Amino acid sequence: RYIDNRSEAAISSDSYEGLIPAYLKELRTGKLNSTYSEQQLMVIAVDFMFPALSAVPSVIVHALKYLMHNPKAMERAQKELHDVVGTARLPSLDDRK
C-alpha cells in the first residue's frame, strides 16, 4: 500500500518532504492515544484535493444569511432577477451574459 511505503520512508528520513510524510512519521512514531490516524490522513487528503466540496455550501449559506439580514440587498437581488429573467421561467446560465 502507498501509505505503508511512504510511512517507512518518512520514518527512516530525518527531513520532511511535505505534509503527508510528516503526518505519517508522527502517526508511526507518535503516542498510542494520538489523534493521528490513517482515516484522518485520508480526510485531510480529500480536503486538499476537493476543497470546493465544503466551500460551496458555506458560501451559499453566508450569502443567504446576508440577504436575510439585509432587506435592501434582497430587494435589489429580486429586482435584478425580475428584470433579467422575468416571471415566466427559471434562471439559467445564459442569463449571466
pLDDT digits (tens, 9 = 90+) for 63-73: 999 999 999 99
1: its cell numbers? 500500500
The stretches of the chain forming alpha helices (DSSP H) are: 2-12, 19-29, 38-49, 52-69, 71-84
pLDDT of residue 9: 63
pLDDT of residue 69: 95
Between vectors from CA 84 to CA 89 and to CA 63, what angle results, nearest 5°? 90
| 15 backbone dihedrals φ, ψ, rounded to 5° | -110, 160
In the structure, what pLDDT confidence band is assigned to residue 96 with cuts at 50, 70 and 90? confident
Question: Is the predicted pLDDT of residue 10 greater than 60, yes or no?
Answer: no
**d(Cα 5, Cα 1) in Å, to the nearest integer?**
6
Q: Is the pTM of this model over 0.85?
A: no
**d(Cα 82, Cα 75) in Å, to the nearest integer?**
10
pLDDT of residue 82: 93
